Amino acid sequence: MQELLYLVHRFPYPPDKGDKIRSFHLLKHLSQRYRIHLGTFIDDEMDHKHLERVRGMCGETCFLDLYPKSARIRSLSGLLSGQPLTLPYYHDKRLQAWVSNLLETRPVGTILVFSAAMAQYVSHAMNIRRVMDFVDIDSDKWMQYAATIAWPMSWIYRRESKLLLNYEKQVARLFDSATFVSEAEADLFKRLAPEVAEKITYFNNGVDADYFSPQNIYPNPYLAGIDTLVFTGAMDYWANVDAVQWFASNIFPAIRLQLPKVEFYIVGTRPSAAVMALADLPGIIVTGAVPDIRPYLAHASIAVAPLRIARGIQNKVLEAMAMGKTVVASPQAIEGINANPDRDMVVANDESDFINRIIELLQNGSSRAIGHAARTRVLEDYNWKKNLGRIDALLSQPQTI
């Protein structure tokens, strides 16, 4: 069995948030063809209970704890070195030593790196085929963040965006091939870095449509006689926090004024203090972590995705679509998703659009036709086995550098 080094910035299990969903399915898929040596960081104490499960899918492993507070302090060294702060945040001498020793002692024929920050560990491995899965254009996220906050953090985020884009371009030049999470994301990077356009491609995420299925029976977590709007996601992630704050402050009150029995459920792990504070507002419920998000999707009237900051593909949108729900989403939330507005989902361009479209759907009954079309779209375009076939072809090609 061929040997492959797989570097991931976050422990790829459980697959309960965007990057971990993709990194886990890559691991699961590739373990059928390769002896995988996995190097990764653990930034959530709860992940330790899953270590043996992941080890069982791998050859050699290096799992290192990463403490976000100390990592943020360490990242400040980038201000002196001229690096993007992301690189020292994820730098660890122990992981570098493990990678170097592995490449010297094992017949590794291919390297797959997940997230740009991890490329620093194999910058010297020029005689091995290297494939970079950028997933998203992280540098663009930092530019979006910069537009939402005041100086001096806006300056730091703009700096990070500029330096990280330069680093992403450098990695794309050095690696044999680079992938993104959608065709739209890949096309944007080609425009940003036309000199490496021929190396850039993509493979879509997938959804376990048997697991996220409206045909299953789920207990109803909601009170009888109410309409429910639901948002799902990791609730310590800035883009999600911004989305629910905006929706709760600028959109939901106007909906509830006309439809007093509507409630807004925020369902997801690790809600920040800002998210928890939203539970003090009328009609808003913050659940925190739940054993299973599917009942909240299955019995919701509408799934909402009011993201203002987004890159790549939103798994929360795909999962709701797979559940046959009508999704009302911002343009940012559906960027990269192959779907037709008003047939597969509803797109709301601003606050008044969100208000009017949601009220219309609730008054007339959330459209079953949209929900059915949404699930059909997922079944056609977001199948893991089909989409991961694209990475197989990239990894098996001969080295080009």
CA-closest candidate to residue 212, choices 375, 18, 371: 375
Tell me, what's the pLDDT at 158? 94
Mean pLDDT of 161-182: 95
CATH superfamily, region 227-381: Glycogen Phosphorylase B; (3.40.50.2000)
Place of tokens 């939330």: 333
Domain 2-204+384-396 sits in CATH at 3.40.50.2000
Strand locations in 293-345 (E): 302-305, 327-329
Report which DSSP code applies to 62.
E
Strand partners, 108: 3
Whether 2 shows a pLDDT value over 70: the answer reads yes
pLDDT of residue 144: 86
pLDDT of residue 339: 86
In the chain, the percentage of residues whose pLDDT exceeds 90 is 79
Instruction: Determine the average pLDDT of the residues in 343-352.
Output: 94
Q: Is the pLDDT of residue 377 over 90?
A: yes
Q: Which pLDDT score, from 0 to 100, does residue 146 have?
A: 85
- On the CB side of 284, CA atoms within 13 Å amount to 20
Annotated domain spans of the chain: 2-204+384-396, 227-381
Residue 156 has pLDDT above 80, yes or no: yes
In the predicted structure, residue 399 carries a pLDDT above the cut 80: no
- Quote the percentage of the chain above a pLDDT of 70: 99
| pLDDT of 366 higher than 70 | no
What is the pTM (predicted TM-score) of this model? 0.86
Instruction: Look at residue 23 in the predicted model and tell me its pLDDT.
Output: 96
What is the model's pLDDT at position 126?
87
Please provide the average confidence, as pLDDT, over all residues in the chain.
Answer: 93
Task: Look at residue 142 in the predicted model and tell me its pLDDT.
Answer: 86
Q: What is the mean pLDDT of residues 327-334?
A: 94
Q: Given this model, what pLDDT does residue 147 score?
A: 83
Which segments of 127-235 does DSSP mark as H helices, in order? 138-146, 153-174, 183-192
> Would you say 12 and 119 are in contact if contact means Cβ atoms under 8 Å apart?
no
Helices (H), 33-177: 51-55, 68-75, 78-81, 86-89, 93-105, 138-146, 153-174
d(CA 219, CA 230): 16
Indicate if the pLDDT at residue 396 is higher than 90.
Answer: no
Is 227-381 in the same CATH topology as 2-204+384-396?
A: yes
- Judged against a pLDDT cut of 60, whether residue 308 lies above it is answered with yes
Please state which of the ranges 106-110, 149-153, 199-203 shows the lowest mean pLDDT.
Answer: 149-153
* Of 45-49, 59-63, 312-316, 353-357, the least confident: 312-316
Paired tokens of 376: 């059909």
pLDDT(311) > 60: yes
